[in-house]
């Protein structure tokens, strides 16, 4: 089972969208500096997760979320359905 997740930097107030089979392990990797793109803005916290049926569904959902990053739909996701 795969999940799409949104991380928020606790320093830079920046968001990162990704997908993984193990969100907790992936968060550890982000926070340990194991991911180049998120290294400068550590630490990160998970602000949203969504379970998908398979890897492809998670990848497609990640792309969809990235397409409306910073828009109203993105704000609804990270605010629990409230824009």
Which domains are assigned to the chain?
Answer: 2-78 (3.40.1440)
Q: How confident is the model at residue 80 (pLDDT cuts 50, 70, 90)?
A: confident
Compute the distance between CA of residue 69 and CA of residue 15 in angstroms, rounded to an integer.
9
In the chain, which ranges are continuous DSSP H helix? 23-32, 55-67, 72-78
Number of residues that this document lists for the chain: 83
- Residue 29: predicted pLDDT: 98
pLDDT at 34: 96
Dist. CA 4–CA 65, nearest whole Å: 9
Per-residue pLDDT of 19-69, as tens digits, reads: 999 999 999 999 999 999 999 999 999 999 999 999 999 999 999 999 987
Q: What is the pLDDT of residue 70?
A: 75
- Report pLDDT for 83: 59
Q: What is the pTM of this model?
A: 0.93
Query: Dihedral angle at the C-alpha atoms of 57, 24, 9, 51, nearest 10 degrees?
Result: 30
């Amino acid at each position: 089972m795969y999940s799409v997740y949104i991380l928020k930097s606790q320093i830079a107030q920046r968001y990162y969208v990704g997908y993984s089979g193990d969100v907790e392990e992936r968060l550890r990797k982000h926070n340990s500096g194991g991911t180049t793109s998120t290294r400068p803005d550590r630490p990160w916290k998970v602000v949203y997760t969504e379970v998908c049926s398979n890897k492809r569904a998670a990848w497609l959902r990640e792309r969809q979320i990235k397409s409306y990053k910073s828009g109203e739909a993105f704000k609804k996701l990270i605010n629990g359905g409230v824009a």
